[in-house]
């Protein structure tokens, strides 16, 4: 860790925010801010200074500083940080509001947003926001306030989450390889990202698919091989007030299956049944009436219980289960 760079960054920020000069050119910064003077006045030293200065400016932007570039009176680039815009505005939170924020920042389990939330809290805390029970982990019942016994946990560990978040922020169009459910191979898609939404613990990208010329929803877990940026920064349009709804294919159970269940077995099937009664034909077994919609989904569930669950009706479901089971006999 370079200690010299730490104070150089702090001093550069203070310098560019100070009112002692309207704009600072690179040369003025080099002569003024301690740490840049180590580069000798040679072409190589000049180049080294330029590289260090560029890196430091990028770092200040990453820290949150709005760094402005304008042409100075002498016609070269000048830099400044407007202090009012650089500083977090006044935030005054009541204790219960601060407690809510103190808990909310612990919601992210992993990834960029977990770290971002930690840094945001550091800034809010520095601005005077104090969690009344900072030591009590969210949800622990020892927290005598009775406030917020629960805090949700959200994971953003998908590898494509971070690059997509950056693309959304900077409005880049992106392309990626995407494998639709059940499709044998991935296809390349080119998308203008509108937003991301987590539903039941899974992340989806909503955006405009350029080849299909309409909006589409993509599951992040089906993206492979990384996110590539397409075109310039700001090149992707985002309609105002975009509705990030992600459809969920709820199953309509309009048919009924008659299934014979071994007693005290196949509880997954029993829980879905409308009725369960002992089988008069066969002791040790029950007959269950189970509503279902999709033959494949219902068939997979029944087949998974082997001899503990046997479809008696309807015929198409029975045939599907037999096909699934036969495949495993052959495969063994």
Partner 1 sequence: MSGSADRARRLLALVPYLKSHPGASMAQTAEAFGVTPRQVEKDLWLLFTDCGLPGYLPGDLIDIDFGPDGIWVSEDAGLRRPVRTTPEEGLAVVVALRVLRDTADPGQRDAVDRALAKLETALAAQHHPVVAVTPPETTEHEDTVRGALREGRAVQLRYYSAGRDTVSERTVDPIRMVAIDGHWYLSAFCRRAQGVRMFRMDRIDAATALDEPAAPPPDVPTPRVPYEPRPDDMRLVLRLSPEAAWVAEYYRCDEVTDGPDGSLRVVLRMHDRSLARRLVLGLGPACQVLEPQALAAEVGEAAREALEAYR
Instruction: Scan residues 175-204 and list those touching partner 1 (CB under 8 A).
Output: 179, 181-185, 194-202
Answer yes or no whether residue 9 interacts with partner 1 by CB under 8 A. yes
Which residue is listed with tokens 């029944």? 302
Nearer to partner 1, 39 or 309 (CB): 309
- Least Cα distance to 236 among 195, 206, 174, 192 occurs for 192
Nearer to partner 1, 21 or 289 (CB): 21
Nearer to partner 1, 169 or 212 (CB): 169
Answer yes or no whether residue 104 interacts with partner 1 by CB under 8 A. yes
Answer yes or no whether residue 68 interacts with partner 1 by CB under 8 A. no
Answer yes or no whether residue 136 interacts with partner 1 by CB under 8 A. no
- Least Cα distance to 178 among 188, 168, 190 occurs for 188
Rounded to the nearest 10 degrees, the angle between the axes of helix 111-126 and helix 95-104 is: 150
CB of 295 to partner 1, least distance (A): 13
DSSP state of 90: P
Phi/psi of residue 261, each to 5°? -120, 135
CB of 210 to partner 1, least distance (A): 19
CB of 43 to partner 1, least distance (A): 26
CB of 152 to partner 1, least distance (A): 4
Residues 309, 284: contact at Cβ < 8 Å?
no
From the list 7-15, 36-44, 46-54, 68-76, the region that binds partner 1 by CB under 8 A is: 7-15
Taking every pair of Cα atoms in the chain, the longest distance, rounded to a whole number of angstroms, is 100
Which of 271, 280, 283, 315 binds partner 1 (CB under 8 A)? It is: 271
The residues in 12-31 that bind partner 1, with binding defined as CB under 8 A, are 13-15, 17-18, 20-21
Answer yes or no whether residue 237 interacts with partner 1 by CB under 8 A. no
Kindly tell me the sign of the dihedral angle through the C-alpha atoms of 204, 207, 213, 214: positive
- Least Cα distance to 159 among 145, 177, 181 occurs for 177
Answer yes or no whether residue 272 interacts with partner 1 by CB under 8 A. no
From the list 41-49, 56-64, 209-217, 286-294, the region that binds partner 1 by CB under 8 A is: 56-64
DSSP state of 250: P
Residues whose CB is less than 8 angstroms from the CB of residue 234 and which lie 6 or more positions away in sequence, other chains included:
170, 171, 172
Which residue is listed with tokens 């096909």? 323
Nearer to partner 1, 288 or 321 (CB): 321
Q: Which two tokens stand for residue 207?
A: 């955006």
The residues in 287-326 that bind partner 1, with binding defined as CB under 8 A, are 300-301, 303-307, 310, 318, 321-326
| CA atoms of 52 and 37, how far apart (whole Å) | 11
Nearer to partner 1, 69 or 244 (CB): 244
DSSP state of 7: H
Answer yes or no whether residue 246 interacts with partner 1 by CB under 8 A. yes
Residues 150, 206: contact at Cβ < 8 Å?
no
CB of 76 to partner 1, least distance (A): 19
| CA atoms of 103 and 100, how far apart (whole Å) | 5
Nearer to partner 1, 21 or 43 (CB): 21
Q: Which two tokens stand for residue 254?
A: 């309009």
Answer yes or no whether residue 144 interacts with partner 1 by CB under 8 A. no
CB of 156 to partner 1, least distance (A): 9
């Amino acid at each position: 860790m370079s200690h010299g760079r730490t104070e150089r960054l702090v001093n550069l920020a203070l310098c560019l925010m100070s009112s002692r000069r309207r704009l600072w050119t690179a040369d003025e910064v080099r002569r003024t801010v301690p740490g840049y003077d180590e580069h000798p006045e040679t072409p190589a030293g000049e180049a080294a200074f330029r590289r260090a200065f560029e890196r430091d400016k990028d770092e200040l932007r990453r820290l949150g500083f709005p760094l402005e570039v304008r042409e100075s009176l002498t016609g070269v680039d000048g830099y400044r940080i407007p202090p009012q815009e650089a500083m977090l505005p006044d935030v005054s939170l009541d204790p219960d509001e601060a407690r809510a924020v103190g808990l909310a920042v612990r919601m992210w389990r992993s990834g960029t947003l977990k770290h971002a939330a930690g840094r945001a809290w550091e800034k809010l805390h520095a601005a005077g926001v104090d969690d009344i029970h900072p030591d009590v982990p969210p949800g622990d019942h020892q927290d005598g306030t009775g406030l917020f016994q629960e805090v949700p946990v959200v994971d953003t560990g998908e590898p494509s989450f971070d690059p997509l978040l950056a693309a959304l922020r900077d409005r880049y169009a992106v392309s990626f390889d995407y494998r639709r459910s059940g499709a044998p191979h991935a296809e390349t898609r080119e998308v203008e990202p509108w937003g991301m939404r987590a539903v039941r613990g899974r992340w989806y990208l909503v955006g405009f698919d350029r080849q299909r010329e309409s909006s589409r929803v993509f599951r992040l877990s089906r993206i492979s091989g990384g996110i590539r940026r397409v075109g310039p920064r700001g090149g992707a349009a985002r309609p105002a007030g975009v509705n990030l709804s992600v459809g969920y294919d709820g199953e309509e159970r309009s048919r009924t299956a008659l299934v014979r269940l071994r007693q005290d077995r196949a509880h997954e099937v029993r829980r879905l049944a409308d009725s369960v009664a002992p089988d008069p034909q066969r002791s040790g077994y029950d007959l269950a009436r189970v509503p279902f919609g999709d033959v494949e989904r219902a068939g997979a569930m029944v087949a998974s219980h082997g001899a503990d669950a046997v479809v008696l009706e309807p015929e198409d479901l029975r045939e599907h289960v037999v096909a699934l089971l036969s495949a495993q006999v052959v495969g063994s």
